[in-house]
Amino acid sequence: MNRVVITGIGVVSPVGSTLEEFWSALVAGRSGIGPFTVARSDRLTTRVAAQVPQWDPAPLLDSKQRGALDRFAQFAVVAARAAVLDSGLTISAQLALETATVIGSASGGQTTMDDAYYRLYAENASRLHPLTVPRLMTSAAASQVAMDLGLKGPAFCPSTACAAGTHAIGMAFHMLRSGQAAIAVAGGAEACLTAGTIKAWESLRVLSQDTCRPFSRTRSGLVLGEGAAVLLLEERGHALARGARVYAEIVGFGMTADAYEITASDPDGAARAMRAALRDAKRNPSDVGYVNAHGTATAQNDRSETTALRHVFGLEASRIPVSSSKAVLGHGLGAAGALEMAVTALALHRQIIPPTANFEETDPECDLDVVPNVARQAKIDLAMSNSFAFGGLNAVLVARRA
């Protein structure tokens, strides 16, 4: 089987759209959560989100693309371009035929949908924009990335709620490992900050009204975020032959279903996904030196994830550094797993564990080493990234230092 490495990373995030901006904010624990601006926000009670600041696609996309792409697909295209540029890879016409495009999203073109419904029901419009359907499709980001980069291999969109980005990278990893594709452009994109979407989340009563504090006793809920992360995956021999910089090697992927409840997570399902990823990687729990947690900062999720980690790692769970990037990035839904895998790869590459920002007080039910507020230099050979989605859809990636 082929060995698969990450040679390019591109991000659009609430803390910056270059890797240095992104990484420096994560290491400093500098949160992108704060006031946000969306149309028709007067009906919202939520006042904080992790919004991509001052997004202007005009310098980045031509007028035709700007008209055809919803905000989430714009994020995906820009992040994918950055990943390819970062990799230093020239995708020839022949290589394009063998390059997979796998971009996950939970909710697709919510800006387009929200605007269309407002025109239809509030303004009594008799017709909508002719590109409404192509813009709101959950798969639009995958299609637009493939078209923008001229990629003609397998292309699809996992839409598995908050695990979509992780599923996308994991499926792409398996395709490269088995030889179904030579290269993959894989990740996730989301732009869910609209009045309608936020109102729907408010009805679940899981949103924080101040900030995201994963694993802290004072945590008050999740904070919605947006953005995109795309990784350039490449067969290791090909990457080394061209002298590419390698961030990390993906070695395992596991996925399970809780078959339990639509919104509540089951520690058993999460634990089985972690074990599956380690089994796929042919590694033991004791090999893991860092876990990038799902860590949403809801009372139930953080407690459940802690239990799952203890199921997998036993007494060693207290030894392993576990941090959540959502305190900085918010919960990017379908983009979250991809953004967090980018964090995990950078942690391995730079040998620094980013902290769990905004941490206040230890919760006895989340008694882990959550790397509170201050980054930590450490020797990390193997790391894990967790995503546990609504509907009990679990996905876990394991990567090693290159």
DSSP 69-137: --HHHHHHHHHHHHHHHHHT----HHHHTTEEEEEE-SS--HHHHHHHHIIIIIS--S---TTHHHHH-
For the chain, the C-alpha Rg in angstroms (whole number) is 20
Instruction: Assess whether 366 carries a catalytic annotation.
Output: no
Tokens 């990373």 found at: 9
Active-site position among 157, 331, 349, 366: 331
Distance CA 273, CA 275 (A): 5
Cross-strand pairs, 331: 224
For residue 274, the one-letter residue type is M
Best CA proximity match to 391, nearest among 219, 256, 224? 256
Best CA proximity match to 230, nearest among 144, 293, 355? 144
CA 119 to mean position of chain CA atoms: 31
Helix (H, G, I), strand (E, B) or coil at 33: coil
CB under 8 Å to 303, separation ≥6 — which residues?
A: 363, 365, 366
Active-site position among 157, 212, 294, 349: 294
Half-sphere exposure of 72 (CA within 13 A, CB side): 36
Instruction: Assess whether 331 carries a catalytic annotation.
Output: yes
For the chain, the straight-line distance linking the first and the last C-alpha, in angstroms and rounded, comes to 17
Paired tokens of 57? 């696609």
Q: What share of the chain is helix, strand, coil (3-state, %, to 5)?
A: 40, 20, 40
Best CA proximity match to 230, nearest among 181, 294, 165, 154? 165
240-253 as b/e, with b when 16 or more CB fall inside 10 Å? eeeebebbbbbbbb
Residue 54, by phi and psi: left (phi above 0), alpha (psi -120 to 50) or beta? left
Instruction: Assess whether 157 carries a catalytic annotation.
Output: no
Catalytic residue numbers read: 162, 294, 331
